[in-house]
Amino acid sequence: MKYKCLVLDHDDTVVASSEAIHYPSFIEYLKDYRPELVKNYTFESFIIKNFDPGIISLLADEVGLNEEEMKHEEQYWLDFVETRFPKAYDGISEIIADFKARGGIVAVASHSMTHYIVRDYEHNALPMPDVIYGWDIPKENRKPSPWCILDLCSRYNLKPEEILVVDDLKPGYDMARGAGAHFAAAGWAYDVPEIADFMRKNCDYYLSSVNELRTLLDE
């Protein structure tokens, strides 16, 4: 196989969750606690801000949440996620199953909580990953830190270039680049020109569909 390890993002890479869950949660929070800001954020602008500089910077620097408010917003988001189940993209299950069947290692590096990632995999009958790095790992180890990739190299005796990271946002790209892993942009979740332009110019691969990921892994 071209790659021995596949590192998947979760939201908008494996499951369609931002438009169905994360953006509505963000807007509902603003309505309750920063109503004057609601008009500033369309779904597209929310995605762009998550792309760069990322959700933490968006909440702290733009929305203006202090440390205590950040903790409250996180709990608000977790309560919102609790009762909502995102759907996996067609074809993802088969890709994960085939890759594992050929001896590949599948990891998840995500800003979602680990138990919600497990729940979503179970709900969608997806083959369970070998290791999950969720939001609940120490914050200094989360994307965009390269720590997850380096930990995989240590755990499984891998070289960074044997790892393919698949993610729809820049923190995943930065994580892969920081560790020397290869990166494929998941371009199937939404059509945002600013993100697609960056990914096409800078990534090892830009994948417009889930099927293109299957083709890449079969090379």
Supply the range of the domain harboring residue 136.
5-16+87-217
Domain co-membership, 107 together with 207:
yes
How high is the pLDDT of residue 141? Answer: 98
Domain co-membership, 12 together with 22:
no
How high is the pLDDT of residue 219? Answer: 84
Q: Which of 55, 82, 109 is the last residue of a domain?
A: 82
How high is the pLDDT of residue 29? Answer: 97
**Reported pTM:** 0.90
Domain co-membership, 211 together with 118:
yes
Q: Which of 62, 82, 102 is the last residue of a domain?
A: 82
Q: Which of 82, 114, 130 is the last residue of a domain?
A: 82
Domain co-membership, 108 together with 171:
yes
Residue segments in the chain with a per-residue pLDDT below the cut of 50? none
Determine if residue 157 is left, alpha or beta; phi over 0 gives left, psi from -120 to 50 gives alpha, anything else beta.
left
Domain co-membership, 31 together with 47:
yes
CATH code of the domain containing 127? 3.40.50.1000
Query: How many domains are contained in the chain?
Result: 2
Domain co-membership, 94 together with 200:
yes
How high is the pLDDT of residue 55? Answer: 87
Preceding omega of 53 cis (within 30 degrees of 0): yes
How high is the pLDDT of residue 53? Answer: 83
Question: Which residues face 205 on adjacent strands?
Answer: 184
Domain co-membership, 99 together with 74:
no
How high is the pLDDT of residue 50? Answer: 87
Domain co-membership, 78 together with 96:
no
Domain co-membership, 11 together with 56:
no
In angstroms, rounded to a whole number, what is the distance separating the alpha carbons of residues 89 and 120?
A: 12
DSSP 69-101: HHHHHHHHHHHHHHT--PEEPTTHHHHHHHHHH
Domain co-membership, 146 together with 199:
yes
Domain co-membership, 176 together with 148:
yes
How high is the pLDDT of residue 51? Answer: 86
Domain co-membership, 66 together with 97:
no
